[in-house]
Amino acid sequence: MELSNVLTLLGNPARMAIAWAVIGGDALPASELAYRAGVTPQTASHHLARMVDGGLLAVERCLRYRYYRLASPAIAEIIEGLMALSDPPVLKDRPDRATVDRLRIARSCYDHLAGSLAVALADALQRKGWLDLQERDYQVTALGENGLVAFGLDVPALRHQQRLFARRCIDWSERRPHIGGALGAALMTRFQESGWIRKNPGDRKIWVSSAGQQGLWKTFDIDATP
Amino acid sequence: MELSNVLTLLGNPARMAIAWAVIGGDALPASELAYRAGVTPQTASHHLARMVDGGLLAVERCLRYRYYRLASPAIAEIIEGLMALSDPPVLKDRPDRATVDRLRIARSCYDHLAGSLAVALADALQRKGWLDLQERDYQVTALGENGLVAFGLDVPALRHQQRLFARRCIDWSERRPHIGGALGAALMTRFQESGWIRKNPGDRKIWVSSAGQQGLWKTFDIDATP
DNA sequence: TCCACACTTTGATGATCATCGAAACGCAAC
DNA sequence: GTTGCGTTTCGATGATCATCAAAGTGTGGA
């Protein structure tokens, strides 16, 4: 994945609009993307072909429709990183605001939490002295290890995984860091097991249950009410 | 600052190379940037004009040279953010930050001093009543001539040189004037003879010795401690 | 005065690009 | 089949682009 390629592809307003439309994880048909980007279907098709060719998008055929979505979570991370660097593009006819707001509160980022909930979680764990923010990663303190193990996470096992343990991940909607890596994934899994959050299969939306609101408040001092 | 603009500008390999060359904060002349980007001076000039126009770079003239640097720290943050999203491009000769900071304090500009030390020197000489700042040049007062002769400069001989006597030269890192021309060159030569500064042959780095720090303080009331 | 130098502008060329109309394709319903 | 619809391909157009050679500009030095 060439960064220069990504920049070239996203440097065009129509293609940026397309990328922005599918950033939430939704797969949208070509005609819808053409409408949102403000170009004709032919032009959109041209752009979509380039983006697929450039590895930015993936396409799935379903009957007469072609659904376009981001090619991989890595691409989503790159685009979200770009959003964090500047204001998100102002585009006409943004989809339903409810979806965007929902994503802003909580969504999945690959296999860990993102959105304001994830940022609040990272803040809370630092405030409690469970985490230290180092250069590009988080460190779990002795206090934090006790707390996390008590919460049901096998922290020593997480440390021995091949992947990075607790990556610092920058959020596009918050422009602040949250917890990725093995620890971030384990936390989201634990939240799901506890019934605190519910993940929508197929996209990246996350719902926080009332049990989750209570638990997050009691365990982490996080106010997860909308 | 439009993100889309930045992406378009950086989507070109030559422009990306130029941005990467100045990411450390250093200001480089157009010819050097052309070499590093692997394009002819004409092409580089074209790209540089676009980048200045797009608000990515700023340019300052010093004698016959034009030094290009990043327009603002915010731009540097955006570009470094982009780099963090992917592997940085493999390019020749990127200055490290320590070098950049050193250059900010003192460096040579053609054959005279530049950087904050040079600006402080110009300020000090004006404060002591040795120099007057005219339209585009400095004038040495009678008091200043005595002082400079006592310091070891043959001011009358400098006046009779063909080149401009005491040119006002604008600094990219300070955005304030310092002394160029024959007087600027003679001052730097005298500082070198006195062992106050040491010049790195081949580049523009200047080191101030401890003797230099003492001398600059006693003679010119300049605090040259880092 | 003339030259050297750093850099820019101009001009030309070939390439790529974005865009849309027209036509074609693929698929499903009728 | 035929029709309708979503999408792509083709073709044409006008725009922008990157590139470099050649000429021009401005500056300082001899």
Q: What is the pLDDT of residue A148?
A: 93
Residues A110 and A215 in one domain: yes
Distance B85 CA to D20 C1' (A): 34
Q: Are A65 and A53 in contact (CB under 8 A)?
A: no
How deeply is A93 buried, as exposed, middle or buried, from its count of CB atoms within 10 A (0-12, 13-18, 19+)?
exposed
Higher pLDDT, A199 or A165: A165
In one-letter notation, the amino acid at residue B106 is A
Per-residue pLDDT tens over the stretch B5-35: 888 999 888 999 898 888 766 678 888 888 8
Residues B115 and B205 in one domain: yes
Burial B34-59 (b: 16+ CB within 10 A, else e): bbbbebeeeebbebbeebeebbbbbb
Burial A146-170 (b: 16+ CB within 10 A, else e): ebbeebebebeebeeeeeebbbbbb
Q: What is the pLDDT of residue A198?
A: 77
Residues of B with Cβ-Cβ distance to A3 under 8 angstroms = 82-83, 85-87, 89
Residues A216 and A106 in one domain: yes
Per-residue pLDDT tens over the stretch A54-93: 888 988 776 677 888 888 777 776 777 677 666 555 444 4
Q: For the residues A87-107, what does the mean pLDDT come to? A: 50
Q: Is residue A32 part of a domain?
A: yes
Q: Are A22 and A69 in contact (CB under 8 A)?
A: yes
**Alpha carbons A166 and A155: distance in angstroms, whole number:** 11
Q: What is the pLDDT of residue A135?
A: 65
Q: Are B18 and B74 in contact (CB under 8 A)?
A: no
Residues B73 and B159 in one domain: no
Range of the domain at B141: 105-220
Q: Is residue B226 part of a domain?
A: no
Q: What is the pLDDT of residue A98?
A: 44
Q: Where do the H-state alpha helices sit in chain A?
A: 3-10, 13-21, 30-37, 41-53, 73-85, 97-105, 116-127, 142-150, 155-159, 181-193, 210-220
Q: Is residue A97 part of a domain?
A: no
Q: What is the pLDDT of residue A204?
A: 65
**Alpha carbons B150 and A113: distance in angstroms, whole number:** 71
Q: Which of B212, B226, B27, B31 is nearest to B114 (CA)?
A: B27
Nucleotides of C under 7 A from a protein CB: 5-11, 17-23, 26-28
Q: Is residue A137 part of a domain?
A: yes
The DSSP element (H or E) to which A54 belongs, if any, is: none
- pLDDT band (50, 70, 90) for residue A101: very low
Residues B127 and B42 in one domain: no
Q: Are B1 and B51 in contact (CB under 8 A)?
A: no
Residues A84 and A108 in one domain: no
Q: Is the pLDDT of residue B145 over 70?
A: yes
State CA A114 to chain mean position distance: 5
Residues B61 and B155 in one domain: no
Highest-confidence segment of A43-52, B86-95, B113-122, B169-178: A43-52
* Predicted ipTM of the assembly: 0.56
Q: What is the pLDDT of residue B30?
A: 87
Q: Is residue B47 part of a domain?
A: yes
Residues A27 and A114 in one domain: no
Q: Is residue A118 part of a domain?
A: yes
DSSP state of B224: -
Question: In chain B, helix, strand, coil percent, each to 5?
Answer: 50, 20, 35
Nucleotide nearest to A40 (CA to C1'): C20
Per-residue pLDDT tens over the stretch B198-222: 776 555 667 777 788 888 888 898 8
**Alpha carbons A20 and A79: distance in angstroms, whole number:** 8
Tell me the backbone φ, ψ of residue B207, rounded to 5 degrees.
-110, 140
Residue with minimal CA–C1' distance to C29 is A64
Residues A119 and A215 in one domain: yes
Per-residue pLDDT tens over the stretch B57-88: 888 777 677 888 888 766 776 776 676 566 55
Nucleotides of D under 7 A from a protein CB: 4-11, 17-23, 26-30
Count CB-CB contacts under 10 A for residue A75.
22
Q: What is the pLDDT of residue B94?
A: 46
Q: What is the pLDDT of residue B149?
A: 93
Residues of A with Cβ-Cβ distance to B1 under 8 angstroms = 86
Count CB-CB contacts under 10 A for residue A178.
25
Final residue in a domain of this structure, among B52, B73, B95: B95
Final residue in a domain of this structure, among A52, A67, A92: A92
Residues B140 and B70 in one domain: no
Query: B86, A77: Cβ pair inside 8 Å?
Result: no
**Alpha carbons A194 and A50: distance in angstroms, whole number:** 43
Final residue in a domain of this structure, among A38, A70, A92: A92
Q: Is residue A11 part of a domain?
A: yes
The DSSP element (H or E) to which A204 belongs, if any, is: none
As for how many domains chain B has, the answer is 2
Q: What is the pLDDT of residue A146?
A: 94
Q: Is the pLDDT of residue B144 over 90?
A: yes
Which of B3, B8, B78 to mutate against chain A (most A CBs within 10 Å)? B3
% of chain A with per-residue pLDDT over 70: 77
* CATH code for position B45: 1.10.10.10
Q: For the residues B125-137, what does the mean pLDDT come to? A: 85
- pLDDT band (50, 70, 90) for residue B124: very high
Q: Is the pLDDT of residue B92 over 50?
A: no
Q: Is the pLDDT of residue A30 over 80?
A: yes
Q: Is residue A25 part of a domain?
A: yes
Residues B214 and B119 in one domain: yes
% of chain B with per-residue pLDDT over 70: 74
Residues A199 and A116 in one domain: yes
- Tokens (6 digits) for A111: 């296999």
Q: Where do the H-state alpha helices sit in B54-170?
A: 73-85, 97-105, 116-127, 142-150, 155-159
Q: Is the pLDDT of residue A96 over 50?
A: no
Per-residue pLDDT tens over the stretch A181-217: 889 889 988 998 888 887 765 566 677 777 778 888 8
